[in-house]
């Protein structure tokens, strides 16, 4: 899983039926210094995350395991809201 | 999922049977400033997307969930047409 | 899927049984200007592709969907021979 | 699999139910000179790893094979504690 | 699949049970000029590969198809020993 910051929302009226009702959030990967990477992506929120929160994002086919409808075409899900990261990066 | 811009079409007469009838579109990943990345790839259109539109693209095995024929050898699908992205990138 | 150029063949006498009889081709990813990337990889040819041709390559577990034996350990397949790419890259 | 160093822990009270009870550790990829990459990610510990240890991390859907609950939305697992790496990098 | 050079072994006494008895080898990706990339990873040997040999490595969930125990948490397998690569890189 990767540590991300939730930075916004995406709206798409016309979409795959199985995505209906899912909250699509824009996330950015973070490193230990809370610096974010430039690349953004979109993840389905499965835990009630809010803008600005640090979250745990699962990618790939495993992301579907967190959905109500596991047949939805989803490759990234927010699966946890991070309380604390306690880590020291090596060199 | 990633945010992409649809920039064109691909034609392939000789292809896997299970891909017959699928619309193959060329897409480019975008960031929040609507700047596109250099890498392009090809996604199956599942929502009636048009050239120039911003779309949501699912990659990997989850891309197959959006197809009529889920046994087609597809690793990228357009699963939504984006109305609006409301997000503010962190630093 | 990604757009690649077929640039050669790989021979491996000693290999997984389920790969027997599959044609292994060396491919290079291309961009819209037909410039190729440095990284090469090996894909199973499922459509009768020839050296120099532009092809559509599916990667990941979806690549297995194009094989006669879907239990073969394959993560890249050539699934179409490209007739034409009609696209204009954004900036 | 990739060789990583365990550098910390992540706590997330609000998370997918299927993740309950799993130990979430922060890991960093290493090369042969034991230099770590900048990118960090989070893996579920399946072998009782400790901070500072060199471990073997499996990513993608295969990561779920190491879990007690294989339906958990997990894309990285610690599957071994490395005793020794005996390798000489090429040029 | 990617073309790699086998450069060593990894030992891990404490590991997932399903990995018991598997030979874990350190591999480096190669390009056509036989230059290797800096990143190393660990693959399960399924074909009796030796140090220094050029091999074909399958990654992702497809890597499990080459194992005796397809439920092992493995994301990279050596599936062939390369006799010859006959290819000419484009520009």
B21 Rama sector, left if φ>0, alpha if ψ -120 to 50, beta otherwise: left
DSSP chain C: -EEEEEEEEEE-SEE-GGGTTPPEEEEEEE-TTSPEEEEEEEEEESS---TT-EEEEEEGGGGGGGSSSTTS--SEEEEEE-SEEEE----
Residue D89 pLDDT more than 90?
no
CATH architecture of E2-81: Beta Barrel (2.40)
**ipTM of predicted assembly, 2 dp:** 0.95
* Residue ranges of domains in chain C: 2-81
Contact E60 D60 (CB under 8 A): yes
- pLDDT value at position D82? 98
Distance from CA of A91 to the nearest CA of B (A): 22
Does position E15 have pLDDT exceeding 90, yes or no? Answer: yes
Cα–Cα distance measured from residue A70 to residue E62, given in angstroms and rounded to the nearest whole number: 21
pLDDT-derived band at B49, boundaries 50, 70, 90: very high
Residue B37: per-residue pLDDT: 85
Closest CA to B53 of B75, B84, B22: B84
What does the pLDDT look like over E42-81, one tens digit per residue? 999 999 999 999 999 999 999 999 998 999 999 999 999 9
Sign of CA dihedral B47, B49, B53, B55: positive
- Give the nearest chain A residue to B2 (CA atoms): A41
Please state, in angstroms and rounded to a whole number, the distance separating the CA atoms of residues A66 and D75: 12
**Span C61-70, pLDDT tens digits:** 999 999 989 9
pLDDT band at residue E91 under the 50/70/90 scheme: low
Q: In this predicted structure, which of C52-56, E14-18, E86-90 has the lowest mean pLDDT?
A: E86-90
Domain B2-13+20-81 CATH class label = mainly beta
CATH H-level, domain A2-11+20-81: superfamily: EutN/Ccml (2.40.50.220)
Residue B90 — very low, low, confident or very high, per pLDDT cuts 50/70/90? confident
Among the partner residues B29, B60, B83, nearest to A75 by beta-carbon distance: B60
Half-sphere exposure of A58 (CA within 13 A, CB side): 35
pLDDT value at D6 more than 80: yes
Provide the CA E85 distance to its chain's centre, in angstroms.
17
Chain C nearest-CA residue for E82: C12
Beta-bridge mates of residue E1? none
Candidate from A29, A46, A88 with C-beta closest to D16: A46
């Amino acid at each position: 899983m990767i540590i991300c910051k939730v930075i916004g929302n995406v709206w798409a009226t016309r979409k795959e039926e199985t995505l209906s009702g899912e909250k699509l959030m824009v996330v950015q990967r973070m490193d230990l210094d809370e610096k974010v990477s430039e690349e953004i992506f979109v993840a389905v929120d499965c835990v009630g995350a809010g803008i600005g929160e640090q979250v745990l994002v699962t990618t790939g086919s495993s992301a579907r395991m967190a959905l109500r409808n596991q047949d939805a075409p989803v490759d990234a899900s927010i699966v946890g809201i991070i309380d604390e990261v306690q880590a020291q990066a090596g060199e």
